[in-house]
Chains A and B, each alone.
Chain A
Amino acid sequence: MKLKTLTAAVVAAGLLVTSVPALADLNFPMLSYRTGAYGANGAQFADGYADYFTLLNERDGGIGGVKAVTPECETGYKTDKGVECYESTKGDGALVYQPLSTGITYQLIPKVTQDNIPMHTMGYGRTSAANGKVFSNVFNYPANYWDAASVIVKHLSDVEKGDLKGKKITLVYHNSAYGKEPIRTLEELSKKHGFELKLLPVDHPGQEQKSQWLQIRRERPDFVIMYGWGVMNQVAIKEAANIRFPMENFVGVWWSGSENDVIPAGEGANGYKAVTFHGVGADYPIFKDIAKHVKDAGKAAGDGSNIGKVLYNRGMYAALLAAEAAATAQKMHDTKDITSAQMRDGMENLKIDEARMTELGLPGFGPEINVTCENHGGPGLAAIQQWDAKAEQWKLITEFVESDREIIDALIAEDSAAYAKENKIEDQDCSKG
């Protein structure tokens, strides 16, 4: 019996041990995933997120003089682990959550609202959370899945000189909640622009896509749009190259547009496009600072090899937006040690213009952002990037352009209204400004 009591005590103690950061720190927990089927992607994002905060701490002494910490909790992209991570970190004064998975996002939406902690789902999650009236604690600026679909279609329309009538567009998508997101938007857009939409789902994990690509080869669509994730991206791009589908007519969403996705296809991937809501490459002034204060100081989250990659940049951008929101909150409430509720206010009033981006060492990296109480979705601007296989580099080939607000706003209103009704949520009052 003694043995058992002892074991029980050890277990209980072990379950209680969680990282306890010094109370005065600003706490930005990371629900990262460095293992599992998507670990290769998750690691890059997490490195970028952590490195940016390290940079702020090292170079500026934190945010408004308060150090930031980024306790990391591994989710493996699994929803149940996500919940565990959330519960184990929220008690330590977590300011904002980046769940990094659509599944975890859906789970946490009611919880963060209950606990009054903001959640930022940048370019993923529940799209209709852009309606700040219904989703008071969820933010998905600067752009969402539906914006991506719309910007892609807009780009294709530009390629076709404004006329998509009668064109055939095929959507290859990950057969999951995430992959299904753009379908409704694309259906609306196909009505508006008169193109013919065809849907091709690919089951997780997506190593075998012969059927899908043979079908594409037979039907010769003018364009292929992809909402893929993980190994599905690499296989799809390889198969597209194999059937000699013109790569410049193949456009992926931002989760299908990292170096990981195109490099295995080698030369064949040259010309592949993807939509993005932030700049690519390491040609920004900030990377000098990162090299100096983070990498060379031996404080990088990973081994430093990810710096400047697409997903690293995205993680860094997410961290930047969180830090700016925290600074906004500090100013608004005139306190250095902000709470999660104050952080939420900061996010809701976040304004970043080009001048500020230049100041931060990232000129032209992202569009101007102006979050309001009604609009948690940001400007919905996105650009198209293209892969140069020789140089092994992504290049932005368009400006940040606006999505089709008319269609998307209607869809957001509809979906968020349904959610509000189902969960009996009353709109938050946005009049007090």
Chain B
Amino acid sequence: MAKRPLLGLFNNANSAADAGDALKGAGISENDYDFLTDAPYPEGAFGEREEKHRLYLFPFIGAILGLTSGIMITSMTQIAYPMVTGGKPILSLPPMAVICYEGTMLGAILFTCLGIIFESRLPKPKLGLYDNRITEGFIGVLVNTDESQHGQVEDLMNRSGAIEVKGET
């Protein structure tokens, strides 16, 4: 049977958290419901599971790539047309170091940004079930279950103080 989403709206965080507990009590897996908020609540404020991510890998990969490209462009451009300037060696390391450094940082930052987008599962082509009031401070509890359970979930949320529960129209 197909899973379909159900969105409950709460006007305070406590009742949303209650709803979360109730859902967990009803044996709905933690991957199947989510809290939609308008601001970063401190981690675990809803007793939700801790999100795992590998963001810290990205800057390192980026840095390595940036460094290599920096070394390549600096050394190769000097070797390609070896002109003596000011009696400095053709491969003058200190100036190369400056540009390689910039390359490294640029690579690291570019990859970090990619990593953030990727790790937060964006971009989402379709927004899905959503409510504009969420960005006005309401807290949405988005449940994704079999339609058979919808009734149960709906009154769970109503009992924990949802001001509205809606499904896909």
A and B bound?
no
